[in-house]
Amino acid sequence: MVKSMTGYGKVLSDTEEARISVEVKSLNSKFADVSVKIPRMFNDKELEIRNLISTELQRGKIVLMLDFQSKGENNPSVSIDRNLLSQYFNDLKGAGSELGITSDNELFRYALGMNGVMLNESKEEDNDKYWPLILKCIKETIVKIDGFRRDEGENLKSALQTYVNSIATNLDKVKTIDPERKEHVRNKLQDQLNTLKQEVNQDRFEQELIYYLEKLDIAEEIIRLTSHLEYITKELNGDGSGKKLGFIAQEMGREINTIGSKANFASMQQLVVQMKEDLEKIKEQVLNVL
C-alpha cells in the first residue's frame, strides 16, 4: 500500500485528572527527522516518544507537540530561580540602557520568560501517574496520522499511475512509428548518395544501412522500459516503497533518454519529450511516498 509522508493527527483527552492534547505533523524527508515538544516535567520520556514515532511512522520530518494540564490535588508547583532572574534582568537592563530602553517592567517580563527561571517542582511519581494516559493519547494520535497518510497515499497512487499510463501510451506510439522512422533513415541515406551521382554497390549499401540502423535501434530500450512500467505498476499496487519507486523511476529515465538520443526523427522526439515530462512528475511525487 502506498503511503504519503505528509500527515496530521490530533487527540484531545479531558478527564477529571488532566487535560491532554497531542498533535503530530509530518512532511516528506529522506530519513526520520523527529522533533518532540513536551513539558519539561516529561523530559525523561522524550527518548521513549522518539523511538515510538520512529518505529511506527518510519520516515518523514515529524513534529510531536504535547500540551499537559493537571487537574489533580497534586498539581505541580512552580518556583522562581531568583538568582537567575536577577542575572537576566541586570543583563537586559544593561543592554537596554545602551539601546535607550528604560522600561523596567517590560525588561522584567522578558527576564521572567527566559529559560530556567520558572522551575517546575512536580514530583517524579506524579509525572509517572499521568504517563500511561499520555502514552495512550500519543499512540492514538499516531494511528490518526497513519490513517491520514493512507488516504493521501491513495491520491498519490492515482496520480502516479496516471503518469505511468501516459508514458506507456506514448511508448506504444513510439513502437508504431518506429518502422516509419527506419524507412525515413533509409530514404535519407539513399537521397544523400544520389546527390553524389556515383554508382554504389547495392549490397554494400544494404550492409552499411543495416549497420547504421543497428546503431539507432531502440528495440532493447523499448523492452526494458516496458518492463520498468510493469514493475512500477506492480509496486504501486503492492508495498509501494518510496525509495524503490525512486530507483525504478531512475531506470525508466535511462531508457527514455537513450530512446531520445537514438530517435533522429522529429515525431518520435516529441513523444520522448512528453515521456520525460511525465517522468519528472513521477519523480516529484515519489519524494512524498513513504
Query: What is the SS3 assignment for 215-235?
Result: HCCCHHHHHHHHHHHHHHHHH
User: Any idea where the domains of the chain sit in the sequence?
Assistant: 7-74+127-147, 78-112, 153-286
Instruction: Pick from 100-104, 114-118, 126-130, 146-150 the range whose average pLDDT is largest.
Output: 146-150
Digit-coded pLDDT (tens) for 60-102: 999 999 998 887 655 555 667 778 778 877 887 777 777 666 6
Cα→Cα distances 32→54, 73, 200, 223, 286, Å: 6, 39, 67, 37, 17
Element (H, E) at 63: strand 60-70
**Rg of the chain over CA atoms, in angstroms?**
33
Digit-coded pLDDT (tens) for 12-64: 999 888 899 999 999 999 888 999 999 888 888 999 999 999 999 999 999 99
Write out the three cell numbers for 148: 491520514
Please state, rounded to an integer, the average pLDDT across all residues of the chain: 85
**Which residues, 6+ apart, have CB-to-CB distance to 155 below 8 Å?**
4
Cβ pair 167, 30 in contact under 8 A: no
Please report the pLDDT score of residue 233 as a whole number: 95
Please report the pLDDT score of residue 210 as a whole number: 65
Kindly tell me the burial class for residue 127, based on how many C-beta atoms sit within 10 Å of its own C-beta (0-12, 13-18, 19 or more): buried
Digit-coded pLDDT (tens) for 179-235: 888 788 777 766 666 665 556 666 666 666 666 666 778 889 999 999 999 999 999
Lowest mean per-residue pLDDT among 62-66, 121-125, 168-172, 258-262: 121-125
Q: What share of the chain is helix, strand, coil (3-state, %, to 5)?
A: 65, 15, 20
Q: Domain 7-74+127-147, CATH 3.30.230.40 — does that match?
A: yes
